[in-house]
Structure 1
Amino acid sequence: MTMKDRIKGALREPLIHFLIAGLVIFLLFAWRGYGVDPASRTIIIDEAQVSRLGKSFEQTFQREPSPKEVDGLIREYIKEEIYYREALRLGLDSEDPVIRRRLRSKMEFLAQAKLDSVRPTDAALQKMIDANPQKYAADARYSFDQIYLNAFDPEIAGSKAEALLSKLKSGADWQSLGDNLSVPKSMDDIPRSEIERQFGEEFTKGLSSLADAPKNSWVGPIGSGFGIHLLRIRSAAAASKPKLADVRQAVENDWRAETMEKREEEAYNVLLSAYDIEIKK
Protein backbone atom coordinates (compact mmCIF):
# COMPACT_ATOMS: atom_id res chain seq x y z
CA MET A 1 0.00 0.00 0.00
CA THR A 2 1.41 3.40 -0.97
CA MET A 3 1.65 6.37 1.36
CA LYS A 4 -1.09 8.07 -0.66
CA ASP A 5 -3.41 5.10 -0.13
CA ARG A 6 -2.66 5.04 3.61
CA ILE A 7 -3.44 8.74 3.92
CA LYS A 8 -6.69 8.30 1.98
CA GLY A 9 -7.66 5.44 4.28
CA ALA A 10 -6.83 7.41 7.40
CA LEU A 11 -8.84 10.38 6.16
CA ARG A 12 -11.95 8.21 6.28
CA GLU A 13 -11.54 7.81 10.05
CA PRO A 14 -14.08 9.89 12.06
CA LEU A 15 -11.30 10.84 14.46
CA ILE A 16 -9.34 12.46 11.64
CA HIS A 17 -12.36 14.53 10.57
CA PHE A 18 -12.75 15.68 14.15
CA LEU A 19 -9.09 16.62 14.57
CA ILE A 20 -9.00 18.52 11.30
CA ALA A 21 -12.16 20.42 12.25
CA GLY A 22 -10.68 21.13 15.67
CA LEU A 23 -7.47 22.36 14.11
CA VAL A 24 -9.38 24.71 11.79
CA ILE A 25 -11.32 26.12 14.73
CA PHE A 26 -8.13 26.44 16.75
CA LEU A 27 -6.35 28.32 13.94
CA LEU A 28 -9.38 30.55 13.40
CA PHE A 29 -9.44 31.57 17.03
CA ALA A 30 -5.67 32.07 16.98
CA TRP A 31 -6.00 34.37 13.94
CA ARG A 32 -8.77 36.32 15.66
CA GLY A 33 -6.81 36.62 18.90
CA TYR A 34 -8.93 33.98 20.67
CA GLY A 35 -12.01 36.14 20.16
CA VAL A 36 -10.54 38.98 22.24
CA ASP A 37 -9.09 42.29 21.11
CA PRO A 38 -6.26 43.00 23.57
CA ALA A 39 -6.47 46.69 22.72
CA SER A 40 -10.11 46.88 23.78
CA ARG A 41 -10.84 48.33 27.21
CA THR A 42 -14.47 47.23 27.15
CA ILE A 43 -15.65 44.06 28.87
CA ILE A 44 -19.25 43.08 28.19
CA ILE A 45 -21.03 40.80 30.64
CA ASP A 46 -24.27 39.74 28.94
CA GLU A 47 -26.95 37.26 29.94
CA ALA A 48 -25.32 34.44 27.97
CA GLN A 49 -22.01 34.90 29.81
CA VAL A 50 -23.71 34.93 33.20
CA SER A 51 -25.55 31.76 32.21
CA ARG A 52 -22.26 30.05 31.28
CA LEU A 53 -20.73 31.05 34.61
CA GLY A 54 -23.77 29.70 36.44
CA LYS A 55 -23.71 26.38 34.59
CA SER A 56 -20.02 25.95 35.35
CA PHE A 57 -20.78 26.54 39.04
CA GLU A 58 -23.62 23.99 38.94
CA GLN A 59 -21.39 21.32 37.38
CA THR A 60 -18.85 21.80 40.16
CA PHE A 61 -21.11 22.14 43.20
CA GLN A 62 -24.26 20.33 41.99
CA ARG A 63 -26.50 23.27 42.83
CA GLU A 64 -27.45 26.69 41.50
CA PRO A 65 -25.39 29.66 42.72
CA SER A 66 -26.99 32.21 45.02
CA PRO A 67 -27.30 35.87 43.84
CA LYS A 68 -24.28 36.72 46.01
CA GLU A 69 -22.28 33.87 44.46
CA VAL A 70 -23.27 35.02 40.96
CA ASP A 71 -21.87 38.46 41.79
CA GLY A 72 -18.66 36.78 42.93
CA LEU A 73 -18.45 34.73 39.74
CA ILE A 74 -18.85 37.88 37.65
CA ARG A 75 -16.13 39.69 39.60
CA GLU A 76 -13.74 36.74 39.16
CA TYR A 77 -14.51 36.58 35.44
CA ILE A 78 -13.80 40.31 35.04
CA LYS A 79 -10.52 39.92 36.92
CA GLU A 80 -9.52 36.95 34.77
CA GLU A 81 -10.45 38.76 31.56
CA ILE A 82 -8.41 41.84 32.52
CA TYR A 83 -5.32 39.78 33.32
CA TYR A 84 -5.83 37.75 30.15
CA ARG A 85 -6.00 40.83 27.92
CA GLU A 86 -3.03 42.44 29.63
CA ALA A 87 -1.02 39.23 29.14
CA LEU A 88 -1.92 39.24 25.44
CA ARG A 89 -1.01 42.90 25.20
CA LEU A 90 2.42 42.13 26.67
CA GLY A 91 2.86 39.18 24.29
CA LEU A 92 3.17 36.67 27.13
CA ASP A 93 1.43 34.04 24.99
CA SER A 94 4.23 34.12 22.40
CA GLU A 95 6.72 31.22 22.52
CA ASP A 96 5.77 30.39 26.08
CA PRO A 97 6.55 26.67 26.63
CA VAL A 98 3.87 26.32 29.30
CA ILE A 99 1.18 27.72 27.01
CA ARG A 100 2.41 25.56 24.14
CA ARG A 101 2.10 22.47 26.31
CA ARG A 102 -1.38 23.48 27.46
CA LEU A 103 -2.52 23.99 23.87
CA ARG A 104 -1.06 20.61 22.91
CA SER A 105 -2.91 19.05 25.85
CA LYS A 106 -6.16 20.59 24.64
CA MET A 107 -5.68 19.17 21.16
CA GLU A 108 -4.91 15.75 22.64
CA PHE A 109 -8.00 16.08 24.83
CA LEU A 110 -10.08 16.74 21.71
CA ALA A 111 -8.68 13.58 20.18
CA GLN A 112 -9.38 11.65 23.39
CA ALA A 113 -12.97 12.87 23.49
CA LYS A 114 -13.55 11.72 19.94
CA LEU A 115 -11.94 8.34 20.59
CA ASP A 116 -14.32 7.81 23.49
CA SER A 117 -17.26 8.04 21.08
CA VAL A 118 -15.86 5.36 18.73
CA ARG A 119 -17.53 1.99 19.19
CA PRO A 120 -15.84 -1.33 18.36
CA THR A 121 -17.65 -4.02 16.39
CA ASP A 122 -18.97 -7.12 18.12
CA ALA A 123 -16.53 -9.16 16.01
CA ALA A 124 -13.55 -7.20 17.40
CA LEU A 125 -14.74 -7.67 20.98
CA GLN A 126 -15.45 -11.35 20.48
CA LYS A 127 -11.95 -11.81 19.10
CA MET A 128 -10.51 -10.38 22.31
CA ILE A 129 -12.62 -12.75 24.42
CA ASP A 130 -11.59 -15.75 22.32
CA ALA A 131 -7.92 -14.82 22.69
CA ASN A 132 -8.08 -14.64 26.50
CA PRO A 133 -11.31 -16.15 27.90
CA GLN A 134 -9.99 -16.56 31.44
CA LYS A 135 -9.48 -12.80 31.67
CA TYR A 136 -13.20 -12.15 31.34
CA ALA A 137 -14.74 -15.26 32.85
CA ALA A 138 -16.26 -14.51 36.24
CA ASP A 139 -15.59 -18.10 37.28
CA ALA A 140 -12.01 -18.28 36.02
CA ARG A 141 -9.75 -20.25 38.36
CA TYR A 142 -6.05 -19.75 39.06
CA SER A 143 -3.16 -21.45 40.76
CA PHE A 144 -0.26 -19.13 41.52
CA ASP A 145 2.54 -18.10 43.85
CA GLN A 146 3.21 -14.49 44.80
CA ILE A 147 6.03 -12.52 46.39
CA TYR A 148 4.93 -9.33 48.12
CA LEU A 149 6.96 -6.11 48.21
CA ASN A 150 5.97 -3.30 50.55
CA ALA A 151 6.56 -0.46 48.08
CA PHE A 152 4.30 2.15 46.49
CA ASP A 153 6.75 4.59 44.93
CA PRO A 154 7.08 3.50 41.24
CA GLU A 155 10.87 3.93 41.10
CA ILE A 156 11.54 2.14 44.38
CA ALA A 157 9.04 -0.60 43.53
CA GLY A 158 10.57 -1.09 40.09
CA SER A 159 14.10 -1.35 41.49
CA LYS A 160 13.03 -3.83 44.17
CA ALA A 161 11.15 -5.97 41.64
CA GLU A 162 14.13 -6.08 39.25
CA ALA A 163 16.47 -7.10 42.08
CA LEU A 164 14.14 -9.91 43.14
CA LEU A 165 13.62 -11.16 39.60
CA SER A 166 17.39 -11.32 39.22
CA LYS A 167 17.68 -13.39 42.42
CA LEU A 168 14.90 -15.73 41.26
CA LYS A 169 16.67 -16.32 37.95
CA SER A 170 19.79 -17.22 39.93
CA GLY A 171 17.83 -19.94 41.73
CA ALA A 172 17.06 -18.22 45.04
CA ASP A 173 14.38 -19.76 47.26
CA TRP A 174 11.30 -17.67 46.44
CA GLN A 175 9.66 -18.31 49.83
CA SER A 176 12.51 -16.54 51.60
CA LEU A 177 12.17 -13.39 49.49
CA GLY A 178 9.91 -10.37 49.81
CA ASP A 179 8.06 -8.81 52.74
CA ASN A 180 5.51 -10.36 55.09
CA LEU A 181 1.81 -10.08 54.31
CA SER A 182 -1.28 -11.66 55.83
CA VAL A 183 -2.58 -13.06 52.52
CA PRO A 184 -1.37 -16.48 51.26
CA LYS A 185 1.86 -16.80 49.30
CA SER A 186 0.33 -19.59 47.22
CA MET A 187 -3.20 -20.33 46.04
CA ASP A 188 -4.37 -23.46 44.23
CA ASP A 189 -7.34 -23.67 41.85
CA ILE A 190 -9.00 -20.62 43.40
CA PRO A 191 -11.90 -18.76 41.69
CA ARG A 192 -11.32 -15.21 40.59
CA SER A 193 -13.94 -13.87 43.01
CA GLU A 194 -12.09 -15.33 46.02
CA ILE A 195 -8.77 -13.93 44.81
CA GLU A 196 -10.35 -10.50 44.45
CA ARG A 197 -11.80 -10.75 47.96
CA GLN A 198 -8.38 -11.39 49.47
CA PHE A 199 -6.09 -9.31 47.23
CA GLY A 200 -8.38 -6.65 45.78
CA GLU A 201 -9.57 -5.69 42.31
CA GLU A 202 -6.26 -4.17 41.13
CA PHE A 203 -4.36 -7.39 41.88
CA THR A 204 -7.00 -9.54 40.20
CA LYS A 205 -6.92 -7.44 37.04
CA GLY A 206 -3.14 -7.70 36.95
CA LEU A 207 -3.33 -11.47 37.45
CA SER A 208 -5.85 -11.74 34.59
CA SER A 209 -3.69 -9.63 32.28
CA LEU A 210 -0.75 -12.00 32.89
CA ALA A 211 -2.78 -15.17 32.46
CA ASP A 212 -1.13 -15.83 29.08
CA ALA A 213 2.39 -15.40 30.45
CA PRO A 214 4.64 -18.50 30.33
CA LYS A 215 3.53 -20.85 33.09
CA ASN A 216 5.80 -21.40 36.09
CA SER A 217 7.85 -18.28 35.26
CA TRP A 218 8.11 -15.29 37.56
CA VAL A 219 6.55 -12.17 36.02
CA GLY A 220 5.37 -8.75 37.13
CA PRO A 221 5.26 -6.66 39.12
CA ILE A 222 1.55 -6.01 39.50
CA GLY A 223 -0.04 -3.72 42.05
CA SER A 224 -2.55 -4.15 44.84
CA GLY A 225 -3.80 -2.11 47.76
CA PHE A 226 -0.94 -3.63 49.80
CA GLY A 227 1.94 -2.71 47.48
CA ILE A 228 3.34 -4.72 44.57
CA HIS A 229 3.72 -8.42 43.81
CA LEU A 230 5.76 -10.74 41.61
CA LEU A 231 3.72 -13.66 40.24
CA ARG A 232 4.32 -17.20 39.14
CA ILE A 233 1.16 -18.50 37.49
CA ARG A 234 0.96 -22.27 37.53
CA SER A 235 -2.41 -22.61 35.84
CA ALA A 236 -5.25 -20.42 34.58
CA ALA A 237 -8.54 -21.72 33.24
CA ALA A 238 -11.99 -20.41 32.44
CA ALA A 239 -14.59 -22.88 33.72
CA SER A 240 -17.01 -21.62 31.10
CA LYS A 241 -16.57 -19.39 28.08
CA PRO A 242 -17.77 -15.85 28.86
CA LYS A 243 -20.55 -14.41 26.74
CA LEU A 244 -20.03 -11.03 25.10
CA ALA A 245 -23.33 -9.71 26.45
CA ASP A 246 -22.18 -10.38 30.02
CA VAL A 247 -18.71 -8.83 29.77
CA ARG A 248 -19.15 -6.23 27.02
CA GLN A 249 -18.12 -3.23 29.13
CA ALA A 250 -14.92 -4.82 30.43
CA VAL A 251 -13.89 -6.00 26.96
CA GLU A 252 -14.76 -2.64 25.38
CA ASN A 253 -12.63 -0.85 27.99
CA ASP A 254 -9.68 -3.08 27.11
CA TRP A 255 -10.28 -2.56 23.38
CA ARG A 256 -10.30 1.20 23.86
CA ALA A 257 -7.06 1.11 25.84
CA GLU A 258 -5.34 -1.09 23.25
CA THR A 259 -6.42 0.96 20.22
CA MET A 260 -6.02 4.42 21.77
CA GLU A 261 -2.32 4.83 21.09
CA LYS A 262 -2.63 3.47 17.54
CA ARG A 263 -5.50 5.79 16.64
CA GLU A 264 -3.82 8.84 18.16
CA GLU A 265 -0.66 8.03 16.19
CA GLU A 266 -2.65 7.72 12.96
CA ALA A 267 -4.35 11.05 13.59
CA TYR A 268 -1.04 12.77 14.31
CA ASN A 269 0.56 11.31 11.16
CA VAL A 270 -2.24 12.72 9.02
CA LEU A 271 -1.70 16.18 10.51
CA LEU A 272 2.07 15.77 10.20
CA SER A 273 1.76 14.93 6.49
CA ALA A 274 0.36 18.43 5.89
CA TYR A 275 3.60 20.05 7.13
CA ASP A 276 7.00 20.51 5.53
CA ILE A 277 9.64 19.87 8.17
CA GLU A 278 13.06 21.45 7.71
CA ILE A 279 15.84 20.57 10.14
CA LYS A 280 18.73 22.94 9.56
CA LYS A 281 22.16 22.09 10.94
Structure 2
Amino acid sequence: MTLRQRLVQGAREPLVQFLLAGALIFAGFALLGQGPDQGDRKVVVDQARIERIVTLWMQTWHRPPTPAELDGLISEYVQEEVYVREALRLGLDGDDPVIRRRLRSKMEFLATDQLESARPEERVLEAWLQAHPELNVQDPKISFQQVYLGPARDASLDGKVAASALARLKGGSPPESMAVPLSLPRDLTLTSRTEIDRQFGGSFSDALLKAPAGQWTGPVSSGFGVHLVRVSQVKAGASPRLDDVRQAVENDWRAATRAEREAKAYQDLLKGYDVVIERPE
Protein backbone atom coordinates (compact mmCIF):
# COMPACT_ATOMS: atom_id res chain seq x y z
CA MET A 1 0.00 0.00 0.00
CA THR A 2 1.41 3.38 -1.00
CA LEU A 3 1.81 6.32 1.38
CA ARG A 4 -1.01 8.16 -0.40
CA GLN A 5 -3.37 5.20 0.07
CA ARG A 6 -2.43 5.00 3.74
CA LEU A 7 -3.18 8.68 4.24
CA VAL A 8 -6.54 8.40 2.46
CA GLN A 9 -7.49 5.34 4.51
CA GLY A 10 -6.40 7.02 7.75
CA ALA A 11 -8.42 10.12 6.97
CA ARG A 12 -11.56 7.97 6.87
CA GLU A 13 -11.14 6.85 10.50
CA PRO A 14 -13.68 8.56 12.87
CA LEU A 15 -11.04 9.33 15.50
CA VAL A 16 -8.80 11.00 12.92
CA GLN A 17 -11.76 13.04 11.66
CA PHE A 18 -12.54 14.03 15.24
CA LEU A 19 -8.99 15.20 15.88
CA LEU A 20 -8.87 17.09 12.58
CA ALA A 21 -12.10 18.88 13.43
CA GLY A 22 -10.69 19.82 16.81
CA ALA A 23 -7.54 21.14 15.17
CA LEU A 24 -9.63 23.29 12.83
CA ILE A 25 -11.49 24.79 15.77
CA PHE A 26 -8.25 25.64 17.56
CA ALA A 27 -6.91 27.12 14.33
CA GLY A 28 -10.02 29.26 14.09
CA PHE A 29 -9.48 30.53 17.60
CA ALA A 30 -5.89 31.36 16.72
CA LEU A 31 -6.86 33.29 13.58
CA LEU A 32 -9.39 35.30 15.54
CA GLY A 33 -6.83 36.07 18.20
CA GLN A 34 -8.83 34.15 20.77
CA GLY A 35 -7.92 31.12 22.78
CA PRO A 36 -10.36 28.54 24.04
CA ASP A 37 -12.02 29.21 27.38
CA GLN A 38 -9.35 28.32 29.93
CA GLY A 39 -11.91 27.83 32.67
CA ASP A 40 -13.62 25.18 30.59
CA ARG A 41 -10.27 23.43 30.11
CA LYS A 42 -9.65 22.89 33.79
CA VAL A 43 -10.72 19.46 35.07
CA VAL A 44 -11.13 19.44 38.84
CA VAL A 45 -11.58 16.10 40.59
CA ASP A 46 -12.66 17.26 44.03
CA GLN A 47 -13.38 15.27 47.18
CA ALA A 48 -17.10 15.03 46.43
CA ARG A 49 -16.37 13.59 42.98
CA ILE A 50 -13.93 11.05 44.41
CA GLU A 51 -16.49 9.98 47.01
CA ARG A 52 -19.02 9.52 44.20
CA ILE A 53 -16.53 7.42 42.23
CA VAL A 54 -15.85 5.26 45.31
CA THR A 55 -19.58 4.86 46.03
CA LEU A 56 -20.29 3.64 42.48
CA TRP A 57 -17.38 1.20 42.73
CA MET A 58 -18.62 -0.20 46.05
CA GLN A 59 -22.13 -0.70 44.69
CA THR A 60 -20.66 -3.13 42.18
CA TRP A 61 -17.80 -4.76 44.10
CA HIS A 62 -19.06 -4.40 47.70
CA ARG A 63 -15.66 -3.20 48.93
CA PRO A 64 -13.64 0.02 48.71
CA PRO A 65 -11.11 0.25 45.86
CA THR A 66 -7.42 -0.16 46.54
CA PRO A 67 -5.22 2.95 46.10
CA ALA A 68 -4.12 1.66 42.68
CA GLU A 69 -7.71 0.95 41.65
CA LEU A 70 -8.79 4.41 42.80
CA ASP A 71 -6.01 6.02 40.75
CA GLY A 72 -7.25 4.09 37.73
CA LEU A 73 -10.85 5.14 38.36
CA ILE A 74 -9.85 8.80 38.65
CA SER A 75 -7.81 8.58 35.44
CA GLU A 76 -10.79 6.99 33.68
CA TYR A 77 -13.06 9.78 34.91
CA VAL A 78 -10.60 12.46 33.67
CA GLN A 79 -10.41 10.75 30.27
CA GLU A 80 -14.19 10.61 30.04
CA GLU A 81 -14.52 14.26 31.07
CA VAL A 82 -11.98 15.37 28.43
CA TYR A 83 -13.71 13.45 25.67
CA VAL A 84 -17.15 14.71 26.72
CA ARG A 85 -16.01 18.33 26.75
CA GLU A 86 -14.34 18.00 23.37
CA ALA A 87 -17.46 16.34 21.94
CA LEU A 88 -19.61 19.19 23.27
CA ARG A 89 -17.12 21.74 21.91
CA LEU A 90 -17.48 20.15 18.46
CA GLY A 91 -21.27 20.10 18.76
CA LEU A 92 -21.45 16.31 18.49
CA ASP A 93 -24.43 16.28 20.85
CA GLY A 94 -26.61 18.28 18.46
CA ASP A 95 -29.58 16.45 16.93
CA ASP A 96 -28.35 13.10 18.21
CA PRO A 97 -31.51 11.10 19.01
CA VAL A 98 -29.72 8.81 21.48
CA ILE A 99 -28.32 11.73 23.47
CA ARG A 100 -31.64 13.59 23.35
CA ARG A 101 -33.50 10.54 24.67
CA ARG A 102 -30.93 10.11 27.41
CA LEU A 103 -31.21 13.77 28.47
CA ARG A 104 -34.99 13.56 28.43
CA SER A 105 -34.85 10.38 30.50
CA LYS A 106 -32.64 12.07 33.10
CA MET A 107 -34.93 15.09 33.31
CA GLU A 108 -37.98 12.87 33.69
CA PHE A 109 -36.17 10.99 36.44
CA LEU A 110 -35.35 14.24 38.24
CA ALA A 111 -38.93 15.46 37.92
CA THR A 112 -40.30 12.12 39.14
CA ASP A 113 -37.81 12.03 42.02
CA GLN A 114 -39.04 15.45 43.17
CA LEU A 115 -42.63 14.24 42.91
CA GLU A 116 -41.92 11.11 44.93
CA SER A 117 -40.13 13.05 47.66
CA ALA A 118 -43.09 15.41 48.11
CA ARG A 119 -45.46 14.37 50.90
CA PRO A 120 -49.18 14.60 50.12
CA GLU A 121 -51.28 16.68 52.48
CA GLU A 122 -53.42 15.03 55.13
CA ARG A 123 -56.65 16.09 53.45
CA VAL A 124 -55.51 14.52 50.14
CA LEU A 125 -54.90 11.13 51.74
CA GLU A 126 -58.12 11.31 53.72
CA ALA A 127 -60.09 12.07 50.56
CA TRP A 128 -58.35 9.21 48.75
CA LEU A 129 -59.19 6.76 51.52
CA GLN A 130 -62.84 7.82 51.49
CA ALA A 131 -63.04 7.56 47.70
CA HIS A 132 -61.41 4.10 47.55
CA PRO A 133 -62.47 2.21 50.67
CA GLU A 134 -62.26 -1.13 48.87
CA LEU A 135 -58.46 -0.83 48.65
CA ASN A 136 -57.94 -0.78 52.39
CA VAL A 137 -61.09 -2.23 53.94
CA GLN A 138 -60.41 -5.04 56.38
CA ASP A 139 -61.34 -8.62 55.51
CA PRO A 140 -64.81 -9.77 56.54
CA LYS A 141 -64.79 -12.51 59.18
CA ILE A 142 -66.86 -15.67 58.84
CA SER A 143 -68.08 -18.28 61.31
CA PHE A 144 -68.99 -21.62 59.67
CA GLN A 145 -69.03 -25.40 59.85
CA GLN A 146 -67.79 -27.65 57.10
CA VAL A 147 -68.18 -31.34 56.30
CA TYR A 148 -65.51 -32.81 54.06
CA LEU A 149 -66.88 -35.42 51.64
CA GLY A 150 -63.57 -36.43 50.06
CA PRO A 151 -61.40 -35.59 47.05
CA ALA A 152 -63.06 -34.27 43.91
CA ARG A 153 -63.76 -36.97 41.33
CA ASP A 154 -66.42 -36.85 38.62
CA ALA A 155 -68.64 -33.74 38.79
CA SER A 156 -71.92 -35.67 38.44
CA LEU A 157 -70.83 -38.26 41.03
CA ASP A 158 -69.73 -35.54 43.43
CA GLY A 159 -73.08 -33.85 42.94
CA LYS A 160 -74.99 -37.03 43.79
CA VAL A 161 -72.85 -37.74 46.87
CA ALA A 162 -73.23 -34.13 48.04
CA ALA A 163 -76.98 -34.11 47.43
CA SER A 164 -77.41 -37.30 49.46
CA ALA A 165 -75.24 -36.03 52.33
CA LEU A 166 -76.98 -32.64 52.25
CA ALA A 167 -80.39 -34.29 52.58
CA ARG A 168 -79.19 -36.29 55.58
CA LEU A 169 -77.79 -33.18 57.26
CA LYS A 170 -81.03 -31.29 56.75
CA GLY A 171 -82.83 -34.31 58.16
CA GLY A 172 -80.90 -33.97 61.38
CA SER A 173 -78.01 -36.40 60.93
CA PRO A 174 -74.87 -35.30 62.85
CA PRO A 175 -72.12 -33.89 60.60
CA GLU A 176 -69.44 -36.16 62.05
CA SER A 177 -71.40 -39.22 60.92
CA MET A 178 -70.62 -38.58 57.26
CA ALA A 179 -67.45 -36.49 57.30
CA VAL A 180 -64.25 -37.89 55.79
CA PRO A 181 -61.25 -37.22 58.10
CA LEU A 182 -59.33 -34.06 57.19
CA SER A 183 -56.57 -32.21 59.04
CA LEU A 184 -58.64 -29.02 59.18
CA PRO A 185 -61.14 -27.89 61.84
CA ARG A 186 -64.83 -28.56 61.17
CA ASP A 187 -65.83 -25.38 62.99
CA LEU A 188 -64.23 -21.96 62.53
CA THR A 189 -65.29 -18.83 64.40
CA LEU A 190 -64.96 -15.30 62.96
CA THR A 191 -62.03 -16.22 60.74
CA SER A 192 -60.78 -13.76 58.11
CA ARG A 193 -61.14 -14.45 54.39
CA THR A 194 -57.37 -14.45 54.01
CA GLU A 195 -56.94 -17.11 56.68
CA ILE A 196 -59.79 -19.25 55.31
CA ASP A 197 -58.33 -19.22 51.80
CA ARG A 198 -54.89 -19.97 53.25
CA GLN A 199 -56.23 -23.10 54.93
CA PHE A 200 -58.69 -24.32 52.31
CA GLY A 201 -57.07 -22.95 49.17
CA GLY A 202 -58.53 -21.28 46.12
CA SER A 203 -61.43 -18.92 46.72
CA PHE A 204 -63.22 -20.99 49.36
CA SER A 205 -64.25 -17.84 51.23
CA ASP A 206 -66.08 -16.50 48.16
CA ALA A 207 -68.45 -19.45 48.26
CA LEU A 208 -69.00 -18.95 52.00
CA LEU A 209 -69.96 -15.29 51.49
CA LYS A 210 -72.53 -16.35 48.87
CA ALA A 211 -73.99 -19.14 50.99
CA PRO A 212 -77.33 -18.60 52.78
CA ALA A 213 -76.87 -18.08 56.50
CA GLY A 214 -77.96 -20.70 59.01
CA GLN A 215 -78.47 -23.68 56.69
CA TRP A 216 -76.39 -26.42 55.13
CA THR A 217 -75.50 -25.92 51.50
CA GLY A 218 -73.09 -27.23 48.88
CA PRO A 219 -71.17 -28.75 47.33
CA VAL A 220 -68.32 -26.25 47.76
CA SER A 221 -64.91 -27.02 46.25
CA SER A 222 -61.60 -26.45 48.00
CA GLY A 223 -58.02 -27.39 47.33
CA PHE A 224 -58.74 -30.71 49.09
CA GLY A 225 -61.97 -31.72 47.43
CA VAL A 226 -65.72 -31.35 48.09
CA HIS A 227 -67.41 -29.88 51.20
CA LEU A 228 -70.80 -29.04 52.57
CA VAL A 229 -70.92 -25.84 54.62
CA ARG A 230 -73.18 -23.98 57.03
CA VAL A 231 -72.43 -20.28 57.61
CA SER A 232 -73.62 -18.99 60.98
CA GLN A 233 -72.22 -15.42 60.95
CA VAL A 234 -70.55 -12.91 58.62
CA LYS A 235 -68.97 -9.84 60.15
CA ALA A 236 -68.31 -7.18 57.54
CA GLY A 237 -64.82 -5.72 57.35
CA ALA A 238 -64.47 -2.32 58.98
CA SER A 239 -63.13 0.72 57.14
CA PRO A 240 -59.80 1.55 58.78
CA ARG A 241 -58.74 4.95 60.09
CA LEU A 242 -56.12 6.82 58.09
CA ASP A 243 -53.62 6.59 60.96
CA ASP A 244 -53.81 2.79 60.77
CA VAL A 245 -53.17 2.48 57.01
CA ARG A 246 -51.40 5.73 56.16
CA GLN A 247 -48.45 4.19 54.30
CA ALA A 248 -50.67 1.85 52.26
CA VAL A 249 -52.97 4.74 51.32
CA GLU A 250 -50.02 6.93 50.35
CA ASN A 251 -48.57 4.13 48.20
CA ASP A 252 -51.93 3.64 46.44
CA TRP A 253 -52.27 7.39 45.89
CA ARG A 254 -48.75 7.70 44.44
CA ALA A 255 -49.22 4.77 42.06
CA ALA A 256 -52.62 5.93 40.81
CA THR A 257 -51.74 9.60 40.36
CA ARG A 258 -48.19 9.21 39.03
CA ALA A 259 -49.05 9.90 35.37
CA GLU A 260 -51.17 12.91 36.31
CA ARG A 261 -48.44 14.37 38.50
CA GLU A 262 -45.77 13.79 35.83
CA ALA A 263 -47.93 15.59 33.26
CA LYS A 264 -48.34 18.53 35.64
CA ALA A 265 -44.58 18.70 36.22
CA TYR A 266 -44.03 18.89 32.45
CA GLN A 267 -46.64 21.61 32.06
CA ASP A 268 -44.90 23.64 34.76
CA LEU A 269 -41.64 23.38 32.80
CA LEU A 270 -43.39 24.18 29.52
CA LYS A 271 -44.70 27.47 30.93
CA GLY A 272 -41.15 28.81 30.85
CA TYR A 273 -40.83 28.34 27.07
CA ASP A 274 -42.20 30.16 24.04
CA VAL A 275 -42.97 27.35 21.58
CA VAL A 276 -43.18 28.33 17.91
CA ILE A 277 -44.26 25.65 15.42
CA GLU A 278 -43.68 26.53 11.76
CA ARG A 279 -45.65 24.01 9.74
CA PRO A 280 -44.88 23.54 6.03
CA GLU A 281 -47.39 25.25 3.75
Q: TM-score range by the shorter chain?
A: 0.3 to 0.5
The structure with the larger Rg is 2
TM-score by length of 2: 0.48
> Which has the higher relative contact order, 1 or 2, with Cα contacts under 8 A spaced 6 or more apart?
1
